[in-house]
Amino acid sequence: MTPEVVTPSDSPRPATAAPTTASPSPAGSPGGAAPASELPPPGSGPAADPLIQQALDRASRPDLPPADEQHLVTAGRDAWLAETVRYTQVRIQAATARRTPDRNGAVVRLVWAGADPAGTYLDGRTATLHYIRNGEGSWTRT
């Protein structure tokens, strides 16, 4: 996987930084999704996605400028869909973008659904993508 540089005014483009893998973030962990009692039951389908988005939004307060947040969520969705190309029936159920604790980067947290290459369909899967801001005001996935 090649990291990408994304800017609010253009589409992702390859970067020269070393690739890393996205690491899942378990639900209920710091910065993760809300407790299971607040979430719809597994298998609820796309109709439950707004509830999952609300729970993810409640898990942490927005701390990025709205344009950056929206841009990073879009970039994170696109990157994750590219990473799960071997999966089927993939959909992003919810996504947020928040600053990292050191304030030099951002974390995009996703909740997604899909069937893995073996055919096991699950919803409520989680993924975390990390970005850093570079000097040009754009974001690079790390």
Residue 47, domain extent: 4-141
- Asked if 55 and 33 count as a contact pair (C-beta separation under 8 A), the reply is yes
Distance of alpha carbon 24 from alpha carbon 111, whole angstroms: 10
Domains of the chain: total: 1
Which string of DSSP letters, residue by residue, matches 42-59?
TT--GGGHHHHHHHHHHH
Structure-block tokens of residue 57:
């939004």
pLDDT of residue 1: 43
pLDDT at site 10: 35
pTM: 0.73
Selected residue with higher pLDDT from 141 and 20: 141
Q: How far apart are CA 33 and CA 18, in angstroms?
A: 29
Q: Which residue has the higher pLDDT, 1 or 116?
A: 116
